[in-house]
Chains A and B, each alone.
Chain A
Amino acid sequence: MYQHIILAADGSENAVRAAEEAVKIATYTEGSKIEVVMVADFNKATADRLHTQSEDSLLLERQRKIANVEHVLEGAGVPYTVTVLKGDPGPEIVRYVNDSRADLVVIGSRGLNSLQEMMLGSVSHKVMKRVKCPALIVK
């Protein structure tokens, strides 16, 4: 079954809802592990650096971002690891999921309307279209 579950997280409420669903699946499968994947967006690289005093505080800042998701996983007692990637969130998640041959990817959807989706681009939509494994989009 789903042994290696990748949970894409970005610090938002949607990611927390996705985490809750990922937990449900993980607890039903013997020996399954969740890998929390966060992408530090290239487009925010400059601002991220400007708003932290050192690379160490930047590291801490990014870890704090997924604390809400970790909280859910810890609470459920599901084993998990954290991976921080750098790049354009959509394509980077797709690349990582396909390279790591995960069994399932779980991702929250921001619930954009069609105009916003055209302007901002929906990460979950891109992921769903291009990953080679089952994807669970959580609304």
Chain B
Amino acid sequence: MQTLQQQWFGNIRGDILSGIVVALALIPEAIAFSIIAGVDPMVGLYASFSIAVIIAFVGGRPGMISAATGAMALVMVDLVADHGLHYLLAATILTGIIQVILGVSGIARLMRFIPNAVMIGFVNALAILIFMAQVPHFLGEGWLTYVFIGVTLLIVYTLPRFFKAIPAPLIAIILLTAAAFLFNIELKTIGDLGTITQSLPSFLLPDVPFNLETLQIILPYALALSVVGLLESLLTAQIVDDMTDTKSDKNREARGQGIANFVNGFFGGMAGCAMIGQSVINVKSGGRGRLSTLVAGVFLMFLIIVLGDLVIDIPMPVLIGIMVMVSIGTFDWGSFKYLVTAPRADALVMFVTVAIVVWTDNLAIGVVAGVVLSALFFVGSISKLKIKKRDGVYLIEGPLFFASTQKFVQTLEMAEEDHVIIDLTSSHLWDESSVGALVRVTAKLQQQGKSVEVRGLNPASSALFDKLNG
């Protein structure tokens, strides 16, 4: 791993330039994700500033961008709708505490347990939910809304082919906001959905009663936010690791996400996490170090303080167009092929993860269900035991454990030879059930007056057998 000095100052020019590009690309997203969550745009902008700045110092993956995200916004919708902003801030602080605890206890190892089928399901569900969150904003808003969305999409998809210095979404915003002004077009603007405050975030305690009832309200959300935030952050860290051919400290990143959310909650920001899209933009723009993340956060705040007045005039359809782009970019388009070519169990896990998220509107539930389902499939697949019978020798192929002993016992109990040889060369005793099954079969056969010989136990299995069988 690089030294701290390299992580900060190893790529100064590239980091400053890419940080600026990311800040420009972050603004529309931070605002749009605030609108998804149902809070003022400032809540997402403050979050993006605070999280980016803090994670630059405490994160474990230099060059990764963390801010207010769609995944987190989608989790908090009901909390905001039912209880308001201050409960969200309290939940954000609690999320930070939970993430720090998880980071300290080494959550990164657990990531290995999450199969990629669940990850694919996660990003697809995220994309679908982000898109669905836009629908109420454009349905029945008149044909001009559709025109603006269409032109936005046209700009963000074709412009980058010719001009890459400034993020296309920002150009779309500038051009179309100007167009709406010039032609006096009446469209819903960001100002209709909230306010922009041209000031730095300040410290505040969430205005909630400090009692058990509050905890009961925020805990389920904080847990879901913790899971979703760490999942997306650690996935993003892996992608950045791969792109930059460097390693990262995933547990430090988990703790860093926690610290960032904890502090962010006291400064009026909504819970956030690492962003796949923005981190990829950062690396592509030449960002590699911690400085890029810091610059992204600081420059974002600078822009808001300077340009806040103009931001409220951005027409909503432009923001919707950008969110449609985010949704299309988030969706894993290789999934359709995956559904056909992947092993059936994996394809099903991916599909179920998406279906459960879309059905429950909760990313965390979908992920947990996907992991449980794939774990069951895994147990199912490795519990398939093959028993070959050759000249009175029963050759057992496959591991023996609680899920696979049944077939073993059934087959062996039916043995008709006088001298039964059980060959475990290609097997392994994993648990008490397997040792018990072997003891039971031996006893039963001996009861019938047969002799039993067990051969080929590997050392670990022998040791387990001796230990459990006294």
Contacts and interface: CB of A to CB of B under 8 A. Distances in A.
B130 to A, nearest CB: 15
A93 B443 CA distance: 69
A58 interface: yes
A86 B283 CA distance: 11
A52 B161 contact: no
A55 B120 contact: no
Interface in B374-401: none
A71 interface: no
Contacts of A49: 235, 238-239, 242
Interface stretch (B62-70, B111-119, B411-419): B111-119
Contact of B112 (A48, A54, A118): A54
Interface string B196-217: 0000000000000000000000
A46 B278 CA distance: 12
B243 A86 contact: yes
B119 A58 contact: no
Given A51-B334, A51-B338, A54-B112, A118 B276 contact: no
A58 B242 contact: yes
Given A42-B284, A45-B239, A50 B161 contact: no
Given A52-B116, A88-B284, A45 B243 contact: yes
B334 A42 contact: no
Contact of B276 (A40, A46, A54, A121): A46
Contacts of B438: none
B245 interface: yes
A53 B244 CA distance: 19
A115 to B, nearest CB: 12
A54 B332 CA distance: 18
B284 A50 contact: no
B116 A53 contact: yes
A137 to B, nearest CB: 22
Interface in A104-129: 118-119, 121
Contacts of A48: 242
B73 interface: no
A51 to B, nearest CB: 6
Given A50-B116, A118-B161, A55 B334 contact: no
A50 B242 contact: no
A58 B284 CA distance: 20
A52 B243 CA distance: 15
A88 B160 CA distance: 14
Interface of B: 112, 115-116, 119-120, 123, 161, 235, 238-239, 241-245, 276, 280, 283-284, 332-334, 338
